Structure 1
Amino acid sequence: MTGNRLDHSCALWALAAGIASLTPTVALGQEAVEGAQGPVINEPGPVSDEDDRTIVVTGSLIRGTPEDSALNVSVFTTEEFAQEGVTSPLDFIKDIPAVGPVLGDSNQFSAAAQGLGGVGSLNLRNLGPTRTLVLLNGHRTIVSPGDGIVDTNLLPLFALERVELLKDGAAVTYGSDAVAGVANFITRKNFEGIELQGDYRFIQDSDGDYTASILAGQNLGEDVNLLLGFGYRHRSPLAAIDRDYANLPYEINPAGYSLVSNPATYFPAIRTTGPIRNNPAAARRPTVVAGTPFQDAGCAALGGTQLFSGGTTPLCAYQFTDYNNLVEEQDFYQAFGQLNVDLSSAVRFNADVLWARSVTRTALSPSYPSTTGPAGPGTQFNYFVPSTNPGFAAFAAQTGFPATTAIPAPYGAAILLYRPFALGGNPLADSPYGNESFGKNNSWRVSSGLEFDLDSELVASLQGTYIQSSSESLVPDYLPVRLQNALDGLGGPDCNVATGTPGQGGCRFYNPFSNALALNQITGQTNPGYTGPAGQANANDPELLRFLFGNTGTLQQEQNLIVDGLISGGLGGLDLGAGPVQFGVGAQYRSTNFDTRGRNDEGLFLNDPQRNPCRIPGDTTCAVRTGPFAFLGQSRNIELFSDVYAVFGEVQIPLLDALEVNLALRYEDYGGQTGSTLDPKGSFRFEATPWLVLRGSASTTFRGPLPSNVSPTTVTALQAIDAANGGFLSVDITGDPALRPESAFTYNLGAVIQSRNFNASVDYWSYDFEDAIALEDENAIASAVVPERGGLADCSNPLADRLTFANGCIQGVTRGADLARVQTFIVNSAPVKTNGFDFSADYTFFFGESAFTLGAAATWTLNYDVEPQVVEGVEISGAYDAVGFANFDRAPGTISEVKGNAFANLNVGNLNARYVFRYASGVTDDRCPSDAPCFVATAGTSFGDRTTETDFGREIPALQQHDFTLLYDLAFASAEVQLQASVENIFDEDPPAARFELGYNPFIGTPLGRTFRLGAKVRF
């Protein structure tokens, strides 16, 4: 342990010792539900009459009555889900005030979301989804392979009885990952009958979302209960083009535009070597021989925005988000089975099995920009079009480009910035969106165990859980060498590039000019300069275009085994006068096996950095190894293994009739260079009056590194890099075998008020991190070397060797545009501290058999302080408080200072009506300078006679949403029927506008607009 952690531990024991001086009163009754697997609930919940055995509730090892609560736990029942129109775990999570930015919607432009399309994470206290432990019936559940993130979309909502949310550090009880808290999803017990449920949500410009499920339960005699169910949920795509806020002009929101486009800008040029013909020595950038640029004529006609860089160089800005979705098409499947058996009066058996699958299809740009070309890394002049290209003559006639010259052959045009498919779409696609990737997740989990009554006071349990998760992804990208060969007339699967003749036999030309584009497939704008065959969307041969592409992606698999043993009960009849002392002691073993492989569908191993590290497939001699793809990186084969051992204990001491103290301790060993942790926790519950309870807890809590965090192998991601003018580049991420567990000193102080009509709670919480496990900020590293966006690089900076530039880093010559990739490491990073308040209250008015309830819950985050980050002695980022800022380019993401909801609920007979108001306070885009506009276009860029400047998105407004749900229960002789109807976003408000690619802040808003939902639940 570090010295600070030891100081915190001493402070905890001192706190526990001081608790004994508090004065007595009477125990407060709390409500809970049978069957929870882990501490006590301190907010009201329904009482179950299914089983009167003593229970364990989320957060404690001690079995006892529900009065044992001392922790900040909220309970959400399936009845409440129905009353609020919740149809998925993601809907539920996003509405919890204590939860920060989550994944699950379309966030392909967020660094945090890459590779996690469709994953519904849970992010308590804005501390990140890997710091919130998610349980199913008290035990660990399915994670996204390699990421340590539980996908709540895979949990069986149709089989749940409730969710218990512990908003306090709980690693002492549950082990690593429970730093911010725990969410325990608890399924139904002793359920009998058949329940069918389904609903449909009407969404403008979408085919709608729908769910369906069936659940069947049966008591087989008095001692056996069997539960089986299946659920399905579908989300239809919602295109960005269908929402005005996602289609703003460049001069208002430039975030969704790219200057790497087609139509493109060309310069007269020569090439000093012939066609590449798979010869690395021939891969040279063309020499620009004239300073006059010529823009392809089709920009405006096809819907592009005309710009001028430096006042003279024409560029065509292309809105790539026209081809993207606000919501991706997703399908989720779950099958769940559960068996509970009383083997005898003293022995009980439980088992549950979950199989889950998700499929996400993501709409991409028609093609990616080239961040590397046949000559290596770099974004400019990657490709050369010889004058022999069939499209060249029409291009020259349309633009005035010189068709003849004294310059010796090969003469033609050098393309300034390029991607093959942009405003004309991708003719290979089945839909106008031009390009598509997909991700699939297949997972299953089995958990079973035995519980023994050792005597009248002691209970022992042994539980084993096995989880297997697999995922696969596929993303297409083109090969620069194949593209250049096709520009030379040597393209296509049947062309022998070593001996073929350009444009003859199986060798084909690719026409890069806009005269090959008939129309913009999204907007329908036609191109008067199109010269291709009538009715053909693109004059290029589809077989040739298909050959330009290869597939990247990964195949990942992870297996987890967890074994828990626990003994709990009375401590030998020990009683200090206010009740018996209770205890729990146990041990846990966890193992993880993870492997990832790059997919190589064509059998050419294009995605293998060992076989194809260079731009030309088969070449292994290049100095800068960016792989054969124009934009995407490659995937390394990695196999990782880890195992963790833990022992832990807890004692519950009723010091006085009104005062109860819990003390806990956990030792967890990670082995290797990571080492071990020893962490204590203390908590108390003190009833000041029959209606007022004071509570508190303090602990050191921890999170061990994932196997991928400590592996010295490197994985490659993509991120927009400011130093490279915002272009997306490869980011190489490497783990550290000496990485230490991160730790946090956490405490919570609160009060609970309860009466028949009124319930309220307030809690102050604080987390103080040391050795936080984090990724070095790739943007900050690049900006330390290239201080001005796109400007000159400081090659003397100690971090210059973290960056890969085309042709190396040359002082006074190399610029941000030459940047190809960035190297970062997973490290024990800068300290983080956050604190705030949780509030909740509700009051019920009774009118005979009817009830009207008003309630509210909110989280007020006071501070989220991140200390300066230092890399190799260089401070790459200063200290900052993240509260109230968008934090699009830095951790922890968007934090609204206040997030909450209020409701009014009326229950009259068979009718229940609920109105909900949801709120998240506005934030400031921290990327905007305080003394200048948020965005100024490249110097000299003009629209007529004015320079483009925008402050759009500097202040992102608050989320304010109004929802209404009606439930009506019908009773028939053979069935109970509940009819459901909801209106979400009653006033059809747009989400908070932001200078983000999709035009809004996806972390505090929804893109759907007003929606209507109809559903029904039938129970036989």
Structure 2
Amino acid sequence: MGSKGVMARRRSLRDGTAIILAAFAAEAAVAQTADDAIAAESAASQPGAEDSIVITGSRIPRPDIVSNSPVNVISAEEIQLTAANETEQILNSMPQFTAGFGSQSNNPGNGTATVNLRNLGTVRTLVLMNGRRIVGSGEDGVVDINLIPPALIERIDVVTGGASAVYGSDAMAGVVNFVMKDDFEGVEIGAQAGISERGDSARYNVDLTVGGNFAEGRGNIVFYANYFKREQTFASARDHATEFLVDSVQNGVGVLVPGGNAVTPQGTIFSPALVGRTDQFGNVIGPQGIFFAEEGWRAYRTSDGFNDRPFNNLQLPLERIQGAVLGHYDVTDGVTFFWEGTYARNRVKSALGPLPMSSSGFIPGFQLDLRNPYLDPSLRDFLSASLDGDGDGLVPLNINRRVLESGPRTSDQQRDFWRGVIGLRGGLTDRLNWEVFFNHGENDLTDQQGGGVYIDRFAAMFLTDPDDPYACANGDPKCVVINPFGLGSLTPEMVDYYDVDLTNMTRVRQTQVGGTLSGSLFTLPAGDVGIALGAEYRRESASFRPDQLYVLGEAISRSAGLQPTGGSYDVSEVFGEIYVPILADRPGFELLAFEGGVRYSDYSTAGSVVSYKAGGEYSPIRGIKFRGLYQRAVRAPNITELYSGATNTAPLATDFCNATPTRTAAERTFCMELGVPASLIDVFQQENVQIRAITGGNPDLHEETSDTWSVGAVIRPEFVPNLQVTVDYYNIKISDAIAVFGGGLQPTINACRTELSLANPFCVPLATRTPDGQLQDVPLLNQNIAEITASGIDFRLDYRHGIGRYGELSYFLAGAYLFENETTSSPVLNPIDCAGYIGGGSCGSANPHWRFTQRLTWEQDIYQVSLRHRFIGSATDGRFAAAISTGSAPPLLAVPKTPDVHYFDLSASVRINERFRFYGTVDNLFDRDPPFQLYERQTYDAIGRRFTVGITANF
């Protein structure tokens, strides 16, 4: 679209939002008196007192919506106010969540949207729909919440603590349960469009919901269809995302200087024998080798690094179509048949910077043919004199070249998801209800990757036919000799010969069969004794089939050397819960009750495990309740952790072999033992801030275990109607946590430094080096090796108040304070506490001590205006946390921490009549940029101010 079209689109959406907001300047025609009995938001979905309800955290139906497990409820009203069609945006605004993958996740990122409670990992957060499992998006079983129909969500229940006794494996950090609408009459059509202040990052959404009763009211069926499109935004569209700056120390002060990736589009060549020699301009050649600059070949400088930032995505494109059918039918007066069917097709096209191609590691024994006609004659003579001892015209060296002419590395993903549930439920007695169900889901992903390099062909282009310097020695008429020397030097003919597209396939299957019996056994003087008994069988299977060129090691694109993954496991489980009221309606004992539960699970992989919970509640007077719960949770290893084939990753890490002033004499000596050439040891520097590592599965893994305990209070003072306050302290400790060997590459390097010996198992992988000493393809397979501890306080306040003829105000504040988020990556390392830290190679996503979200909403008759405030506290660079852990000197950094970040979101709606509602939102109202230099894109807003307008019609 041209610039005029973009500007027109931006003006129309912005003006449409402004019109809706301006409508509230008018005085309401009819004033409405607030109902003093309106419940707090956390109880917004509570049915009548005569109904029993099940809130996530227990399977026992109770008339009290306040669970003994700390539960946050995101109501339908809150979902409507956000006007978000990406569910992760709703969840990430809650302080208990740390950003997983989502719309702004590029590298890492895979087009999915995931949930990460307490920053304990997406694999430790269990995602459910109506209390039942959802098939994962990959071999790790993590659910892509893009596949959940947003318009059908009635509410989202979030349990922030271990819940394995209730729901089984994966619920170590907690549970996110999407409760869907299952009883709808009429037709509802919704449409919305959104765009950023800068005229990009557009979103479009259309929903259709049709439902009604049949068979004289004995049944209800709901049909749902959705189309959603999110446009791509590159980092080049925002100034804050285009600079590549690196830390440096100048005159004892930390500063940021221009930097870049050492694999450049101009190309570099390197050999240990060249270090210390001088280029044609008299510059000393260092460990980064020779750079092909515009003025000619010369020694590489730090400022020559390639800025790959503009090539990344700030907003991943997504096109989604969805359909769902839900319903129930009363077969008899006491038996109901129910069903759920959902289908979704997601299309994601993402891009990374052009491939950084290196002969080291991919082309064994690589030699540069000095007869290459594109080689500068003076460089030919220099290399011949320096490296060609046998005079054959072939010199051993390493060549690095980012193939900019090939374009970005693209990924065109198509994900097909479907899930079906059928079941029966009914009453066994007037106290006990039963349910049986069958749940099956499938997820298929096809990932077509472009911008790759066919390694053998790329290598062949460097060998020249002695009879024709422009023809290849392999005799292939399509092969032309390559010109890798300088910017833009690759011709279309050269690119066409080595360029390759690759296709990877993933298939995931899940089957769950279960039954429960729940209700009350009998009545004690203090109340009903509640129980829930049940049994489940579940089978999980997954396979990953990379392109055969990946498997054979003949091509590279977004990855290299991928290997197939395939496997399955099943688990049979029985469980039970009990709730016993001990005392009630006595002085000092409004209620005293006990809650317990146990689950026995028999895994085909991990064997037999037991999880359990015990706790209770105490209410001394009406309106005050104290609650506490201890839970033992378990998580069996998933298919990726057990069976994944070897996979290349490129984590950020610093090799202690780098020739820095802090390197010790012992480290210098040991680095030569690890494989750094003696000729380079005093000038050695790693070529790239990212070092290739190999991760993969381990079929000998066993289960993780966690101990979670929480204590808290719920306050509903009778003298302040419609006020509810909850405060909970939690403590989670995970033992035998599954992690890559050593906890990752940097922790492995740190663990090796504690004992510089090849007898130290953490030093052995670091001997995997190229001939010039560079760490490469370091093997780091999964182990039950880590320990994770998290603790903090959650708090929430909900209040509604009528203001007479001026309508009604409602307010909520949901916040969290993080005391501890500590990881011990291996037994020989000190723990790293990332509470209050971000990034730095050790701490990942932002973990500020303070986070909260608050919302104030005004409603009067047909009007509604709401302001949301999201607060993310300051976070310090994770390199400080690592220094504290190791007792090292703190780093000198120009930007040691992020500031406090405040986001404000405004929404408004007007109901024209009983059928039509118009609404508009402005997200990031004050256009707050993310913190400079230190940020990750799912926690902070990388797009800026955004406008959305929409309409809902009911018939």
TM-score by length of 1: 0.77
Alignment check: 8 A CA contact 1:590 1:643 kept: yes
Q: Do residues 447 (structure 1) and 421 (structure 2) align?
A: yes
Superposed displacement of residue 205, structure 1 = 5.1
Counterpart position of 1:638: 565
Superposed displacement of residue 499, structure 1 = 5.5
Q: Do residues 561 (structure 1) and 511 (structure 2) align?
A: yes
Superposed displacement of residue 86, structure 1 = 2.7
1:165 aligns with one of 158, 165, 172:
158
Alignment check: 8 A CA contact 2:471 2:481 kept: no
Counterpart position of 1:769: 734
Superposed displacement of residue 952, structure 1 = 3.7
1:187 aligns with one of 159, 180, 183:
180
Q: Do residues 983 (structure 1) and 917 (structure 2) align?
A: no
Deviates more, 1:125-134 or 1:61-70: 61-70
1:208 aligns with one of 202, 207, 224:
202
Superposed displacement of residue 437, structure 1 = 1.9
Counterpart position of 2:817: 860
* Residue identity in the other structure for 2:261: S
2:267 aligns with one of 264, 269, 283:
264
Counterpart position of 2:10: none
Q: 1:644 to 1:496 in 2, by over 3 A?
A: farther
1:953 aligns with one of 895, 898, 918:
895
1:722 is paired with a residue whose SS is: coil
Counterpart position of 2:460: 485
* Residue identity in the other structure for 1:802: P
Counterpart position of 1:1004: 939
Counterpart position of 2:725: 760
Counterpart position of 1:655: 582
Alignment check: 8 A CA contact 1:373 1:383 kept: no
For 1:951 and 1:738, how far apart are their aligned partners in 2?
A: 42
Superposed displacement of residue 743, structure 1 = 1.5
For 2:324 and 2:894, how far apart are their aligned partners in 1?
A: 48
1:597 aligns with one of 527, 538, 545:
545
2:95 is paired with a residue whose SS is: coil
For 2:833 and 2:748, how far apart are their aligned partners in 1?
A: 22
Show CA shifts across 1:67-116 (max 9, x none).
67333222222222222333320110110111113211343434xx4xxx
For 1:30 and 1:182, how far apart are their aligned partners in 2?
A: 30
Q: 1:156 to 1:374 in 2, by over 3 A?
A: closer
Alignment check: 8 A CA contact 1:674 1:737 kept: no
Counterpart position of 1:222: 217
* Residue identity in the other structure for 2:711: L
Superposed displacement of residue 134, structure 1 = 1.0
Counterpart position of 1:848: 804
Counterpart position of 1:521: none
Alignment of 1:928-939 (within 5 A): none
For 2:201 and 2:577, how far apart are their aligned partners in 1?
A: 53
Alignment of 1:451-490 (within 5 A): 451-476=425-450, 477-489=452-464
* Residue identity in the other structure for 1:437: S
For 2:883 and 2:330, how far apart are their aligned partners in 1?
A: 71
Counterpart position of 2:370: 386
For 2:752 and 2:557, how far apart are their aligned partners in 1?
A: 23
Q: Do residues 352 (structure 1) and 340 (structure 2) align?
A: yes
Q: Do residues 234 (structure 1) and 229 (structure 2) align?
A: yes
* Residue identity in the other structure for 2:333: S
Q: CA RMSD in A?
A: 3.5
1:760 is paired with a residue whose SS is: strand
Show CA shifts across 1:152-207 (max 9, x none).
11110011111111223211111111112211111113211111112111122525
Counterpart position of 1:741: 703
Could you tell me which runs of 5 or more consecutive residues in structure 1 were left unpaired when the two chains were aligned.
Answer: 1-28, 33-40, 268-284, 518-537, 600-604, 618-627, 809-813, 933-948
Alignment check: 8 A CA contact 1:371 1:729 kept: no
Superposed displacement of residue 869, structure 1 = 1.3
Counterpart position of 1:372: 360
Q: 1:803 to 1:420 in 2, by over 3 A?
A: same
Show CA shifts across 1:588-631 (max 9, x none).
111111112112xxxxx3222xxx35xxx5xxxxxxxxxx5488
2:195 is paired with a residue whose SS is: strand
Alignment check: 8 A CA contact 1:265 1:293 kept: no
Superposed displacement of residue 660, structure 1 = 4.8
1:969 aligns with one of 888, 911, 930:
911
Alignment of 1:575-586 (within 5 A): 575-586=523-534
1:483 is paired with a residue whose SS is: helix
Superposed displacement of residue 65, structure 1 = 2.1
* Residue identity in the other structure for 1:896: P
Counterpart position of 1:624: none
Superposed displacement of residue 868, structure 1 = 5.6
Superposed displacement of residue 496, structure 1 = 10
For 2:558 and 2:927, how far apart are their aligned partners in 1?
A: 38
TM-score by length of 2: 0.82
Counterpart position of 2:846: 894
Alignment of 1:805-844 (within 5 A): 805-806=768-769, 815=773, 817=774, 819-844=775-800
Q: 1:153 to 1:289 in 2, by over 3 A?
A: closer
Q: 1:931 to 1:445 in 2, by over 3 A?
A: closer
Deviates more, 1:719-728 or 1:555-564: 719-728
Counterpart position of 1:548: 498
Show CA shifts across 1:18-63 (max 9, x none).
xxxxxxxxxxx9999xxxxxxxx993223447x9653322122222
Q: Do residues 689 (structure 1) and 621 (structure 2) align?
A: yes
Q: 1:416 to 1:911 in 2, by over 3 A?
A: same
* Residue identity in the other structure for 1:635: L
Q: 1:401 to 1:258 in 2, by over 3 A?
A: farther
Alignment check: 8 A CA contact 1:631 1:729 kept: no
Q: 1:565 to 1:891 in 2, by over 3 A?
A: farther
Alignment check: 8 A CA contact 2:262 2:688 kept: no
Deviates more, 1:920-929 or 1:904-913: 920-929
Show CA shifts across 1:952-986 (max 9, x none).
432122221111111111115xxx11111111111
Q: 1:904 to 1:887 in 2, by over 3 A?
A: same
Counterpart position of 1:922: 874
Q: 1:249 to 1:187 in 2, by over 3 A?
A: closer
For 2:616 and 2:881, how far apart are their aligned partners in 1?
A: 47
Q: 1:568 to 1:385 in 2, by over 3 A?
A: same
For 2:561 and 2:510, how far apart are their aligned partners in 1?
A: 26
For 2:459 and 2:298, how far apart are their aligned partners in 1?
A: 26
Alignment check: 8 A CA contact 1:578 1:655 kept: yes
Q: 1:331 to 1:506 in 2, by over 3 A?
A: closer
Alignment of 1:289-308 (within 5 A): 291-293=277-279, 299=293
Q: 1:298 to 1:417 in 2, by over 3 A?
A: closer
Alignment check: 8 A CA contact 1:450 1:463 kept: yes
Q: 1:660 to 1:152 in 2, by over 3 A?
A: farther
Alignment check: 8 A CA contact 2:73 2:157 kept: yes
Alignment check: 8 A CA contact 1:224 1:342 kept: yes
Alignment of 1:367-446 (within 5 A): 367-370=355-358, 372=360, 375-376=363-364, 384-389=368-373, 391-392=374-375, 395-396=376-377, 411=393, 417-421=399-403, 425-426=404-405, 428-429=406-407, 434-446=408-420
Alignment check: 8 A CA contact 1:360 1:438 kept: yes
Superposed displacement of residue 641, structure 1 = 1.4
1:882 aligns with one of 834, 846, 868:
834
Alignment check: 8 A CA contact 1:106 1:327 kept: yes
* Residue identity in the other structure for 1:1016: I
Alignment of 1:776-795 (within 5 A): 776=741, 777-780=743-746, 783-784=749-750
Q: 1:582 to 1:404 in 2, by over 3 A?
A: closer
Counterpart position of 2:63: 65
Alignment check: 8 A CA contact 2:752 2:760 kept: no
Counterpart position of 1:247: 242
Superposed displacement of residue 490, structure 1 = 6.7
